[in-house]
Amino acid sequence: MVERTFVMIKPDAFGRRLCGEIIRRYEAKGLKLVGMKLQIVSRDLAEKHYAEHAGKGFYESLLEFIMSGPTVQMVWEGQNAVAVGRKLNGATNSQEADLGTIRGDFGMTVQNNLVHASDSVETAKREIEIYFDESELWDYSMPDGHWLVN
């Protein structure tokens, strides 16, 4: 099933110059980039994004980290895009992530884990709406699209 997912390259990956590598992996997998922004996340956006963690002991440090530097917000589209994005990223704890995943190849810690991807279609919809207006998302055909669907 074709779906959209939200992916964010976090400040640690941006600071380590891994943006191109992360985007390359999503493209190479066959997902289609339909929206992208570069920004330092405001506290308001960070609170909306991590609302489910409000009140937890790590909440403030999570907000501080995501606001600490430039981030890249993206919307990717493709068959089972949510599950594909999660698999590309690897386990949340980079030390437990499989080699060959973004976190397994480049990550060192739980919090500084380079990249975020939505964990469900519902979460993807909510996160996309936090960062993007519908007019900022593009619908277009890719010349290789027929090779990437059943």
Report pLDDT digits (tens) over 58-81.
999 999 999 999 999 999 999 999
Residue 69 near residue 18 (C-beta atoms within 8 A): no
Centroid of chain to Cα 72: 8
What is the predicted pLDDT for the residue at 148? 79
Q: How confident is the model at residue 89 (pLDDT cuts 50, 70, 90)?
A: very high
Where do the domains of the chain lie, and which CATH numbers do they carry?
A: 2-138 (3.30.70.141)
What does the chain come to in residues? Answer: 150
> Are residues 7 and 124 in contact, defined by beta-carbon separation less than 8 angstroms?
no
Round to whole Å and give the CA distance between 137 and 3.
13
What is the predicted pLDDT for the residue at 1? 87
Checking if the pLDDT of 145 tops 90, the result is no
Exposed, middle or buried, 7 (CB in 10 Å: 0-12/13-18/19+)? buried
The residues that are catalytic are: 116
Whether residue 36 has pLDDT greater than 80: yes
**Whether pLDDT at 123 is above 90:** yes
Segment holding 38, helix H or strand E: strand 32-39
What's the one-letter identity of residue 144? Answer: D
Confidence of residue 110 (pLDDT cuts 50, 70, 90): confident
Tell me which of 145 and 89 has the higher pLDDT. 89
* Tokens found for residue 116: 């975020």
The confidence score (pLDDT) of residue 97 equals 96
